[in-house]
Structure 1
Amino acid sequence: MLVPLLFLLVWCLEESRASSEPDTRIVGGKEAPEGSIPWQVSMRNIEGTEYHFCGGSIIGKQWILTAAHCVKDRNIDSYEIVVGSNKLSSGGTRYKVESVIIHKDYNAALLTDDISVLKLKEEIKYADNIKAIKVDAGYVYGRENGVVSGWGYIDVSRNCYIKLLNVRTLSVKNCRNKLRDVTGPKYTRNEICALNKEGEGFCQGDSGGPLVRNNKLVGMVSWNVPCGRGYPDVYTRLSSYANWIKEHTRD
């Protein structure tokens, strides 16, 4: 079953609380050094019990890039953007969202054009661990290296730190061949595929998070066959939307 990578866990727990609930990390990755992913954000539901539900990237002092399926039909007053911390349960600076722009052709059933930008109510204060990342309009081919990061599911550990994973992209043809037997959304040329091996990949909670090549943003976590089961992970291809991003973040 193909699914968008929304976060399903109520909250990442403090070490002092015993629990068997899933942790929130990339499958098969490694813990990211503090401040190594300064553009990464955590999107937090603040109605009732607080929880992380998606990732995103800082692309300007008032702009966050994330997946459309993360914000579609979600009240902007129900969540905040947290920047500047590798840990879900503490640290970071919070910002409220002023407006949301979802691609007009976004299709929730097919998960096509899965992209949105969020404008914050105030400018982000940059620091060593809080910085924007440039969107790379260059095309990503197969057999290229990248890094994905996030807090998505992995196991029953209580560790709440962000993880990162080195990934290798696939060609359009190779990706389609590997996904031909699965049902649900179909891979398009507006997406990037990556596959390492079984036991590695992104998972629920990583949606909207960055795929980075040479310290530039080239993709965004969209959907997969969860999680790390040997099928390709699919990212929104940002070179296909570079003009759209510029047009909607002009100010």
Structure 2
Amino acid sequence: MNVLPERLSVKECLLKLPWFQKLPPYGSADQGISGRSVLMKSEVSGQRWGMLLGLLLLALLIEPLFGSSKPVQVAGFALFEIVVVSALISSVRDIRGRVFGAILAILWFSGTLLVMFANMFHGLVVVVSLVMLLGALFVTFRNLLDRHTGDLDSLVGAIFGYVLLAATWAALYLQIERWRPGSFTFPDDAGLWSSANYYSLVTLTSLGYGDILPSAPLGRLTAGLEAVVGVLYIAVMIGSIVGSFHRRR
């Protein structure tokens, strides 16, 4: 009776090749990273970015799907904060930076709850939201510039960074609107979080439908900066991925 050969994935085939197991260390000499560990690290990185992208999209869709009640808003923002903290922790290797990021995220979430339920500390939450936005910029651009291979993992990480920028900017718009009502012409028949996300996405992609407009100087400034970052991100993303494919060839 003939037995069909076992079907192996590409990764398993590579791991079984003798020449692949004898690859020299990748990176600096003190790191001692072999070809096997680089492959495994790439796979884990791809799964991580894919999972974070799924959670981020879920955080954006909670309010449009389930309404704009207070519990739904808290659940959506809590999920969004988990994504931001996870991205910061995975990108910052220094333990002090991770602790600072976690503490800042807790203050951000606590301040947001105070704004939602007690109408307090609006200005402080706007400042913390701006700091978190800078952290998101650091995470996304560092992820792009640190990529040495052009593959599916790089593409998923780039997409996650792009959506993360839009969501973080939307959180900043949300806090500005709560601090200075009327800063944006958000519609009254839609949730504030979903409207902010929509406006952030059309601004980041330079679509500019015109149905929502910044009507205050602070809103105009932040919207203009987001448009600049959106164009810059696309340029850096395309250059990084195309350059990675050329290095592979």
TM-score by length of 1: 0.25
Name whichever structure is richer in helix by fraction: 2
* Bigger Rg, which one: 2
| Structure with more relative contact order (C-alpha pairs < 8 Å, separation 6 or more) | 1
- TM value normalised by structure 2: 0.26
The structure carrying a bigger strand percent of its residues is 1
